[in-house]
Amino acid sequence: MSKNPYVKTELKYFLHTFKRWPLFITKAKGIYVWDKTGKKYIDFFSGLAVCGVGHVHPRVKAAIQKQADRLLHVSNYFYTQPLMDAAKELTGRYQGTKVFFSNSGAEANEAAVKFARLWAAKTNKKGREIITFSGSFHGRTLAMVAASDPKNRSNGVFAPYPTGFRHCRFNDLIDLRKAVNSKTIAIMLEPIQGEGGINIASRPFMKEIVAQCRKNNLLLIMDEVQSGIARTGTFFAFEQYGIKPDIVTLAKGLAGGLPLGATLATAKVAKHVVPGLHGSTFGGNPVSCAAALEVLKMLTAKNGVLIRQTGRILNEELSSFASYPSVKEIRCFGLMAAIELHGPGDAYVEAARRKGLIINCTRGNVLRFLPPYFISKRELVKCIQILKLVFEELN
Ligand SMILES: *Cc1c(COP(=O)(O)O)cnc(C)c1O
């Protein structure tokens, strides 16, 4: 039995889906969180890429409070100001698109797949297959588990899964060429795979994807649930590849800590969407939209430059870890970074936590860093110093 009293309570009341850390968080502000004992930590993974602008950002908090004074929810039968403003501001980040709001990344991706299939039906496509990739993670609904890397299938206990997804090796141009066939309607990917361990789509791979889409009249669906909202220094990571996807999905960082998902589609897809085909009760909630509007206003091009600069510093600082024997590879794209280890990473995460730094481990051996956007150079260097102590201790 665990020594941690919260685990005992959890086992009594919860369906045990999460392996939580033995931390009871009572307060958060900016780059910091505090636990019940008053100990302060730097949150170097930003609440899993949700609190990119920092915890309880004063502008986000003020917008939420102001909106909470007016109304919390009225349903999608009505117009509300935050809903209209957030849609205008968000679609402004990708000219020519229209938006559907939901509550999460998985829902944003479900909508993307539905809209892609709708487009396929309306354009008399023969098949309904969507190509996805090894190492991908698109969410936890049945269809998104089917779309994601089959490693996410929990040994098939949740089968049967929806069909219509064909898996291909990430960053493998030859495998991609082989996978495209007469039934293919779309290619869906994360430009930088998050849960898969910060795997960066190579430029030739992305170029080949675009070429295949053009040649075979396929839709390009970009899952930017983790890489979007300026995490890589541009509002969408795809901008840095110079490409234009047909559908883009967002969630995590969109509303600065509140749940909000978004599916953006270009005119070619959007023109087929009519009332009754899709919907959501909570999607576009006025409070979430008010928060998102502030986040969007905060993420200017100037701040993008700043984020890219911070990303370069992070990349440089992390490169010095290559000399530790436990390190297999270091990967960095903007403020998405990882140190892949030869062995398990849990001890590193724990040691960092003891020293006041919150990081996470994905795929068992990949230490992942998703720092807050506006972390100062001094604070960033402090995080790296803590991480160095951890590596000294464990190597
Ligand atoms: C987290 C994540 C999702 C799922 O988002 P939820 O809000 O947990 O449903 C989908 N795609 C990517 C790339 C993600 O990182």
Q: What is the DSSP string of 190-221?
A: -SEETTTTSEEPPHHHHHHHHHHHHHHT-EEE
Whole-number pLDDT of residue 43: 98
Task: Provide, rounded to the nearest whole percent, the portion of the chain with pLDDT above 70.
Answer: 99
Cα of 137 vs centre of ligand 1, distance in Å, is: 7
Q: Is residue 251 in contact with ligand 1, taking CB distance under 6 Å?
A: yes
What is the pLDDT of the chain when averaged over all its residues? 97
Residue whose token pair is 């960053």: 171
For the four alpha carbons of 302, 306, 311 and 313, in that order, the dihedral sign comes to positive
Say whether the peptide bond before residue 325 is cis (omega within 30 degrees of 0): no
Using CB atoms within 10 A of its CB, is residue 85 exposed (0-12), middle (13-18) or buried (19+)? Answer: middle
Q: Which residues share a beta bridge with 30?
A: 55
What atom of ligand 1 comes closest to residue 223's alpha carbon?
A: 13
- Those residues whose C-beta lies under 8 Å from the C-beta of residue 13, and which sit 6 or more positions away, are none
* Span 378-387, pLDDT tens digits: 999 999 999 9
Q: Which residues are tagged catalytic?
A: 137, 223, 252
What pLDDT sits at residue 5?
A: 81
Say whether pTM exceeds 0.75.
yes
Q: What is the DSSP string of 247-304?
A: EEEE-GGGBBTB--EEEEEEHHHHTT--TTS---SSTT-HHHHHHHHHHHHH--HHHH
Q: What is the mean pLDDT of residues 129-156?
A: 96
Which of 225, 231, 282, 366 for a ligand 1 pocket mutation test, highest count of atoms within 8 Å of Cβ?
A: 225
Give the model's confidence band at 6: pLDDT under 50 very low, under 70 low, under 90 confident, else very high. Answer: confident
Q: What is the pLDDT of residues 217-263, one digit of tens each?
A: 999 999 999 999 999 999 999 999 999 999 999 999 999 999 999 99
d(CA 84, CA 203): 36
Q: How far apart are CA 91 and CA 307, in angstroms?
A: 22
pLDDT tens readout for residues 302-351: 999 999 999 999 999 999 999 999 999 999 999 999 999 999 999 999 99
The pLDDT value recorded for residue 1 is 47
Q: Is the pLDDT of residue 271 over 50?
A: yes
pLDDT in tens, 86-142: 999 999 999 999 999 999 999 999 999 999 999 999 999 999 999 999 999 999 999
Tell me how far the alpha carbon of residue 160 lies from the centroid of ligand 1, in angstroms.
21
Q: How confident is the model at residue 206 (pLDDT cuts 50, 70, 90)?
A: very high
Q: 208 in ligand 1 pocket by Cβ < 6 Å?
A: no
Residue 292: closest CA among 259, 244, 328? 259
Give the pLDDT score at 2.
Answer: 55
The greatest distance separating any two alpha carbons of the chain, rounded to the nearest whole angstrom, comes to: 62
d(Cα 55, Cα 22) in Å, to the nearest integer?
20
194 lines ligand 1 (CB under 6 A): yes
Q: Does residue 182 carry a pLDDT above 70?
A: yes
Question: Pocket of ligand 1, candidates 101, 141, 193, 195: which has the most ligand atoms within 8 Å of its Cβ, to mutate?
Answer: 195
With tokens 């019940």, the residue in question is: 36
Q: What is the DSSP letter of 198?
A: S
Q: In the structure, how many helices (H) and strands (E) does the chain have?
A: 13, 17
**What ligand 1 atom has the least distance to the C-alpha of 251?**
7
CA angle 35, 36, 37 (to 5 degrees): 95
What average pLDDT does the segment 178-190 reach? 98
Task: Return the pLDDT at 155.
Answer: 87
